[in-house]
Amino acid sequence: MERLPDLKLASLRRLKADLIVVPCFEGEPPEKGRLPAALASVVARLAARDGWRGEPKQIAEAAAGGGTAVRLIGIGKRRELDARTLRLAIAAAVEGGRRAGAASLALVVPQHPRTAGEAGAELVAREALLAAYRFERFRSERKPRAPRQIQLLPAPAEEAAYRRALDTAAVVAAAAAFVRDLDNTPPNEATPEWMAEQAARLARRHRMRVTTLGPRELRRRGMGGVMAVGGGSANPPRLVRLEWGRQGPAVALVGKGVTFDTGGISIKPAQGMEEMTYDKSGACTVLGVMRAAAELELPVRLRGYLPLAENMPSGAAYRPGDILRCYNGKTVEITNTDAEGRLILADALAWAAEEKPEALIEYSTLTGACVVALGVTGAGLFTPDDDLAAGLLAAAEASGERLWRLPLWSEFNEEMKGEHADLRNSAGRWGGASTAAAFLSNFVGGVKRWAHLDIAGPAYVGADSKGPKGATGYGVATTIAWLRQARQPKTQRAR
């Protein structure tokens, strides 16, 4: 992993950086009052240039002496600033430092409700760190490094909040970078066995209990979903269970870990298939959340479940028309081998539900239908529990990750009933994100507080999107925010 920069609050008395970035709202004077007089005068001269308005992506730069440069970047109208535009502005600032070869960068944090308080401070700090991330382990020649140090200069009234937030932001950013590293690792290396090894290594580092099931034990336990999906590959499947924490509510986290998805017998088109290395994003997210929770010592009992398989076509692959039996005894008729994620999740969800957690959260790059509905910047939330939905949506809003609740109407479950088995694994095109969620609902047992997050859109940046390609680490910040705020179910909090 490329080492993330050192992050600290800037000191006006000792403010020194190779590049000082001042974001500016459109039609407003730059916030130069926090800068020393010499630097403030440079900012004033830049803002007085003909044509400067602070429009999005507009840049003005000048030398300030002593090896320091000052750069203004336009971030658009104040009323239009949201988490996404703020993230893009921070990324532009850090990328500008990389291209300029700056070893250190100072960022004047614009005064705005989105950057205020500890939630705003965590968002700014986390995104400043992650903007420096690049996955370059396989490059023979690496691109210029991002700044090794980033200083944040918030408004004086926000300094205390930023000081409190830095440590947490650094932990969450490092966990998200860890997720990106795992998710970006190519499928010729990141096999189910390799993913299980990474989970075991994390467990040793953070004193977690780990159980890994191989093919023989999966077969013995009747985990037919994982066995079927992984059956066509030379890299056999695994199912990993991690456990951390001895106090607080029990929360289960389940993540889809298809290390590569060809679609199996129902093979995918060649175009874009290389992006199916990211079909393990859910499992990577679970590992990142557990890492961050352990480092922050959150008072929760976390159990993580990672079903890991490679979906390949071969003489041993499962077929359309097969009928499988999953861990909870339900049978599934296969209509499409490219609807494989829900099959491995079925076994993992049933195992998690059997252990009676107080809440269960599942993450998966499950459907293209969710991407069609919400695009690539937001995840779909499915849950029958309004309190859990409210908590997760609030956590996503605070952390700057987009999450939108979608329906779980009863007719979706009707559509998933099989002809010759209890269920079928695909009901066709219409409402595909909701029918997939309805399928999963058959494997959560008696757990009432459960949620499915379809992260197919925001889990990675693909060839059809702008910006650096690769995994994003989506979901770590939201889940940590939720765990910190909603440590107990509503029924317990009310007692």
Give the Cα separation of 270 and 294 in Å (integer): 40
Express the helix, strand and coil content of the chain in percent, nearest 5 each.
40, 20, 40
Residues 312-322: tens digit of each pLDDT: 999 999 999 99
Give the Cα separation of 477 and 87 in Å (integer): 14
Please answer whether residues 103 and 148 qualify as being in contact, where contact means their C-beta atoms are separated by less than 8 angstroms.
Answer: yes
DSSP state for residue 209 in the 8-state scheme: E
Out of 8, 145, 148, 268, pick the active-site residue: 268
pLDDT for 2: 59
Out of 71, 342, 402, 449, pick the active-site residue: 342
Please answer whether residues 51 and 80 qualify as being in contact, where contact means their C-beta atoms are separated by less than 8 angstroms.
Answer: no
pLDDT for 74: 96
Residue that has been written with the tokens 């060839």 in this structure: 463
Mean pLDDT within 188-197: 98
Residue 221 known to be catalytic = no
Could you write out the DSSP letters of every residue in 167-187? HHHHHHHHHHHHHHHHHHS-T
Say which residue, 1 or 127, is predicted with more confidence: 127
Range with lowest mean pLDDT among 84-93, 331-340, 354-363: 84-93
Q: Determine the topology of domain 181-493 in CATH.
A: Aminopeptidase (3.40.630)
Residue 142 has pLDDT above 80, yes or no: no
Residues 16-73: tens digit of each pLDDT: 899 999 999 999 999 988 899 999 999 999 999 999 999 998 999 999 988 899 999 9
Please answer whether residues 229 and 318 qualify as being in contact, where contact means their C-beta atoms are separated by less than 8 angstroms.
Answer: yes
Residue 492 has pLDDT above 60, yes or no: no
φ/ψ region of 445 (left if φ > 0, alpha if ψ in -120 to 50, else beta) reads left
Residues 77-121: tens digit of each pLDDT: 999 999 999 999 999 999 999 999 999 999 999 999 999 999 999
Residue that has been written with the tokens 């049978």 in this structure: 331
Residue 268 known to be catalytic = yes
Say which residue, 463 or 107, is predicted with more confidence: 107
Exposure string for 39-61, b = 16+ CB within 10 A, e = fewer: bbebbeebbeeeebebeeebebb
Mean pLDDT within 245-260: 97
Confidence of residue 414 (pLDDT cuts 50, 70, 90): very high
CA–CA distances in Å: residue 248 to residues 297, 461, 489, 492, 493: 11, 36, 11, 11, 12
Residue 428 has pLDDT above 90, yes or no: no
Multiple choice CATH, 6-158, 3.40.50.10860, 3.40.50.11540, 3.40.220.10, 3.40.50.150: 3.40.220.10
Chain mean pLDDT for the chain: 94
Residue 271 has pLDDT above 50, yes or no: yes
Residues 293-310: tens digit of each pLDDT: 999 999 999 999 999 999
Give the Cα separation of 146 and 131 in Å (integer): 9
Extents of the domains making up the chain: 6-158, 181-493
Give the Cα separation of 150 and 168 in Å (integer): 16
Residue 409 has pLDDT above 50, yes or no: yes
